[in-house]
Structure 1
């Protein structure tokens, strides 16, 4: 049977930056930053409290741009905290005024393995986890090294900082959702760059995905299908959003021009920390903000060892990634930058 790309509201459907409630009918938002757009969106929705938190986040974001790496984590974290409050308020979630995450240092050399993030069961971060339908990791602890490994926007810096590191992500291109004529069957698929294809690729993309060849290209597709019927469009879109949410647990964006997408490999030592990039960025920046506020000399020492570039890349880039992600969650829209990060 002939295959066609899935189409909603006259547009071919692709992966969406919003995890919880993506709007596939509305056109993508092209903007150099999402601050003004989201502020207007919240005003029109009469979300005064959320708007207050969003504007607070913007002020902290702007302050971070003028600060050095040792100081910027403090204002960046408060940007994240207020942006998350804006999200929770806009969705009528209960806001408990505690961070929901803590941190500590293990004695020894200055190492990201010795900087520990402790997840808690109550507060802003667990509330975001609950809203996104993710585990809150209450009572669990992870190191900054473990957390930073799972972020595609700094993964190249991570691998160059730690030689011999297992690369966790496979870049995907030409992502789309396909449907089969004369059938209710539909699924996700994308193209894989030849550089990332080897004898181990099939094993590390499992479970849930499979490789196949078509017209000289290697493609990847989700094994699980979803039902799509043009006669019951609202029900079909509801099923599609649920399917998309499951995919986005393994496929993560770098917000940029056109947005770039990466499949997280199925490798050992990452299944215990299966949260979205929003949660990971929040948790990691909280630990760095603690150091910036309470022990800036210790934070400065981290910039004199082998992971200094990785840390700088995270501090410089995390705010842009986080804000675009939260903007997408608040509005349900897909945001695209007109230029790269």
Structure 2
């Protein structure tokens, strides 16, 4: 089968960091941090309220950089909260002045299994879920351990902290969208390293994806196709955006100097919590902020047990990941850093 990579506006089409309204025609934004770029973008769009919240988020972010691991979750969470408000305000979504998430600790030993995050039906987090077209999990509770399991940017730390943990993500190489020559049939495709290729891989990439080999290399592709016509770009992009949104529910980024992408495996327990990284980071940081504010001694004791590195990696790395994700959702643009986090 002869095929070629999809292009638009003279550049290849790839996975995009924005979930809801991505701009596939504009070049990626390369910046050391997105604060000033997004602020100028909001000014240009006359988004005064959103700009106020974005500026507040920046101040809390900068404050977190000066604090230790016990204090930083409080200011980091308020960075997340205000960045979330900036997104909602920029999209003319109603803002209910409550967090929309709570938490508590179960009795027993000091562990992430006993730190519980309670999702609520009203407030900023459920509003964010609704904007992102995700379940708001109202009335449901999850452990901090299972929430952190679903974040690719700390997944290595998770698996080293919990030796028996199932690896949830497969790293993707050279992800792209392909079109069959002489046809409007198009699909998502990516290469994977041969060390991930076995009968188990064939099982856990289902449903929706399949594994194949070509010229000694291994690839996965989305079974479902979409239609792409070079003569009707507007309609083709509309179909493609729907297709992209669907696969982004299984494929998550790590924002870096070249954004890296990971396919979530279909394993037992993965479908109990199906939200995006933005929602998961918001929920997890809220629980840590509660501990930081109301029970800092308890939070400090989490750094004396086996998951201490995992928790530290989350506290240090999540703000950068969250802010880049929010910048992408607000502007619709793809952001990358000139250097690693």
TM-score category (smaller protein):
over 0.9
Aligned counterparts, 1:289-300, within 5 A: 289-300=289-300
Q: How does 1:80-159 map to 2 (within 5 A)?
A: 80-159=80-159
Displaced runs of 4+ in structure 1, greater than 2 A? none
Q: Deviations over 1:88-130 (max 9, x none)?
A: 0000000000000000000111000000000001100000000
Structure 1 residue matching 2:85: 3-state secondary structure: helix
2:251 alignment partner in structure 1: 251
Give yes or no for the alignment of 1:201 onto 2:201. yes
Instruction: Please give the TM-score of this superposition, normalised by the length of structure 2.
Output: 0.99
Distance 1:68 1:145 in 2: 22
What is the deviation of 1:239? 0.5
Q: Does 1:40 align with 2:40?
A: yes
Normalised TM-score (structure 1): 0.99
The Cα offsets for residues 175-221 of structure 1, whole Å up to 9 and x where unpaired, read as 00000122110000000011211221100100000011111100000
- Match runs of 1:142-221 below 5 Å: 142-221=142-221
Task: Say what the alpha-carbon RMSD is for the aligned residues.
Answer: 0.6
- Three-state SS of the structure 2 residue aligned to 1:159 is helix
Residue 24 of structure 1 corresponds to 24
Q: Which residue of 2 aligns with 1:78?
A: 78
Q: What is the alpha-carbon distance in structure 1 between the residues aligned to residue 215 and residue 140 of structure 2?
A: 47
Correspondence list, 1:280-319, <5 A:
280-319=280-319
Residue 340 of structure 1 deviates from its aligned partner by: 1.0
* Per-residue Cα deviation, 1:196-254 (whole angstroms, up to 9, x for no partner): 11221100100000011111100000000001111111011000000000010000000
Unpaired runs of 5+ residues, structure 2, are none
How many aligned residue pairs are there? 341
2: CA distance between counterparts of 1:34 and 1:294? 32
Partner SS for 1:80: helix
Q: Distance in 2 between matches of 1:195 and 1:339?
A: 27
